[in-house]
Amino acid sequence: MRRFLHGLPGVDAVGLEQRAASLGTRSIKTSSKQWALEKIIRLIDLTTLEGADTPGKVRSLVSKAKHPDAADPTCPPVAAVCVYGDMVGHAVDALGAAHGDPDDGAISVAAVATAFPSGRASLDIKLADTADAVAAGADEIDMVIDRGAFLTGNYGLVFDQIVQVKEACRRADGTYASLKVILETGELNTYDNIKRASWLAILAGGDFIKTSTGKVQPAATLPTTLLMLETVRDWHRLTGERIGVKPAGGIRSSKDAVKYLVTVAETTGEEWLQPHLFRFGASSLLNDVLLQRQKITTGHYSGADYVTID
């Protein structure tokens, strides 16, 4: 594993950041503004991950997920709600008939697991944490890797833990909850490490690679997300398999979210702009997207609020 990961071509940091900056200035047509905003909504994992979370707070989150703009029934729902494992049952109950596959317009339930956000627990506890969330109805598991093991070069341990967590995602009927592997890129220090961790997570069976927990700074950045998108693009070219990418943490404005949409479309292709292949991990982002959407639908819109559009 070490020979393979260290044999990967090194990342040209300057070139990567220049590409990300260039993509961040790309424009979309004026007629596409509302499409872009509604696409962002459909790709959001609406999140509450606080120690003070209660069943009532989760029910309120689900209500917002189902009807983001209570005054506009044409507003689409988000892709998923993301909660701690002990809140999964409350989220499933609150969703009711709206619970299902976000690619079909429904809302899935994602649960953070494996001693989120630190990952500092025994493997048995991590596996039990995962299995309990899946048994409660979680459709997706967001796990954290052992960054300490990764940074000391113990890639085999990280690989084996992802493999075993993936198996803990197995349901009684033989299907699996989708596994998002959180790299916590802000703690990996270098682009080369982020690239290695991305490849490791994919090789171990992750369905998504995710930048961050949102609890560590820096969280998601455009260059880091671009690097991860390039990795899943290369994997798809090698194997034909599509892996998802989820930037999480720090994406708060519609303007920034549109930059990510453009980066996805230009790097992996527009087919990645669907819930089973791309997500935003965000809470405050939704409020700004709704504000911009309302400006368009009511006619009170200023182009200055958006990425430059040709």
pLDDT of residue 308: 38
| Annotated catalytic residue 29 | no
Answer yes or no: is pLDDT of 301 > 90: no
pLDDT of residue 29: 73
pLDDT of residue 183: 98
* Token code pair at residue 169: 């995602």
Answer yes or no: is pLDDT of 305 > 60: no
Separation CA 126–CA 116 (nearest Å): 9
DSSP label at residue 77: P
| Annotated catalytic residue 66 | no
| Annotated catalytic residue 142 | yes
CA dist 65 to 62, 93, 243, 266, 274, Å?
Answer: 5, 14, 24, 28, 17
Answer yes or no: is pLDDT of 240 > 60: yes
Q: Report the pLDDT averaged over residues 256-270.
A: 96
Domains of the chain, each with CATH number or no CATH: 2-305 (3.20.20.70)
Token pair 């009927």 is at which residue?
Answer: 173
Per-residue pLDDT tens digits for 173-197: 999 999 999 999 999 999 999 999 9
Separation CA 279–CA 210 (nearest Å): 9
Q: Which residue is catalytic, options 126, 246, 259, 288?
A: 246
Q: Which residue is catalytic, options 45, 139, 142, 288?
A: 142
Give the neighbor-by-neighbor strand order of the sheet with 178-182: 244-246, 208-210, 178-182, 140-144, 108-112, 80-84, 44-47, 280-282
Would you call 178 helix, strand, or coil by DSSP?
Answer: strand
Answer yes or no: is pLDDT of 292 > 50: yes
pLDDT of residue 299: 72
Answer yes or no: is pLDDT of 302 > 70: no
Per-residue pLDDT tens digits for 77-96: 999 999 999 999 999 999 99
Q: Radius of gyration of the chain from Cα atoms? A: 19
Answer yes or no: is pLDDT of 100 > 80: yes
Q: Report the pLDDT averaged over residues 223-247.
A: 98
Backbone phi, psi, residue 239, to 5°: -120, -20
Cis peptide before 218 (omega within 30 of 0): yes
Confidence category of residue 300, pLDDT binned at 50, 70, 90: low
Token pair 């703690």 is at which residue?
Answer: 187
Answer yes or no: is pLDDT of 10 > 50: yes
Q: Which residue is catalytic, options 126, 180, 210, 259?
A: 210
Answer yes or no: is pLDDT of 158 > 90: yes
pLDDT of residue 78: 98
The answer to whether residues 293 and 69 touch, using CB atoms and an 8 Å cutoff, is: yes
